[in-house]
Amino acid sequence: MARVRADPVTTALAHPTRRALYIALANQEEMSTVQLQAEVNVERYNLYHHLKKLASLNLVENHRDAGRSRWWKKMTHIDLPEILSPSIEPIAASNSVGPGDLASLPESFAEAVAEAGDIHVIQLEGSRDQVGAKRMLEVLAKEHGIELDLPWNFLPASIALIAKKK
C-alpha cells in the first residue's frame, strides 16, 4: 500500500484516534489523561503514543500535572469539519438501509438501493484499512473519470456494495 504524503499536521490528524483526541481537546478547556482515554476508548499506551505525536506538532500540550494526573489542552487551532459543525449527524447508523430510510438519501443512491439485488456492508477495522479503502476509491474514481472530491480527513468506516438484481 502506498503511503499518504502530506504535511505532518494533515497526516497526524488523518488518523482517527489522533483526530478524536484533538476534537475532544478542542471542545474542552482541558482534559485529563483518564478523561481522554474514556472519550476515545483506547489503551493507555496507545493514548500516550498519539498524544506524544500531537504534542510534537504543537497541536496539544501537557500543560500541568496534578498528583498522578496529566492535564492536556489544545495549543493550535486547525479547522476540521467535526469542529466547525459538531451538530451534523450521519444519515444512517445501522449496517443496512431499509425502504423507510430512502427518503433521507440522495436520489441516485436511493434508486440504487431500491433496485438492489444484494447489499453487502464491509466494516473497516482500523486506520490502515480505512486509508487503504480511501486510496482504492480514489484510484477507481480516477480510472473511471469520476470526480471524487473527498475531504483530506475523510476515512470510511465501512463500504456498501450494491449489486443489480438478476
Which domains are seen in the chain, by residue range? 8-84 (1.10.10.10), 99-164 (no CATH)
Q: Give me the pLDDT at residue 32, please.
A: 93
- 13-17, 72-76, 91-95 — most confident range: 72-76
Question: Mind listing the pLDDT tens digit for each residue in 57-84?
Answer: 999 999 888 778 889 999 998 876 554 4
The reported pTM is 0.51
96 Cβ neighbours under 8 A, 6+ residues apart: 119, 121
Q: pLDDT tens digits, residue range 128-154?
A: 777 778 888 888 888 888 888 887 777
What's residue 130's pLDDT? 78
The three-state secondary structure class of 160 is: strand
pLDDT at 3: 58
pLDDT of residue 81: 57
Residue 99: per-residue pLDDT? 46
Write out pLDDT tens, residues 29-38.
999 999 999 9
Alpha helices (runs of H) in 27-80, residue ranges in sequence order: 33-40, 44-56
Q: What is the pLDDT of residue 97?
A: 47
Question: What stretch of H or E contains 8?
Answer: helix 8-14
pLDDT, position 109:
67
* Residue 88 pLDDT > 50: no
State mean pLDDT over 92-118.
Answer: 58
Over residues 87-112, the mean pLDDT reads 50
| Inter-axis angle of helices 44-56 and 16-26, nearest 10 | 70
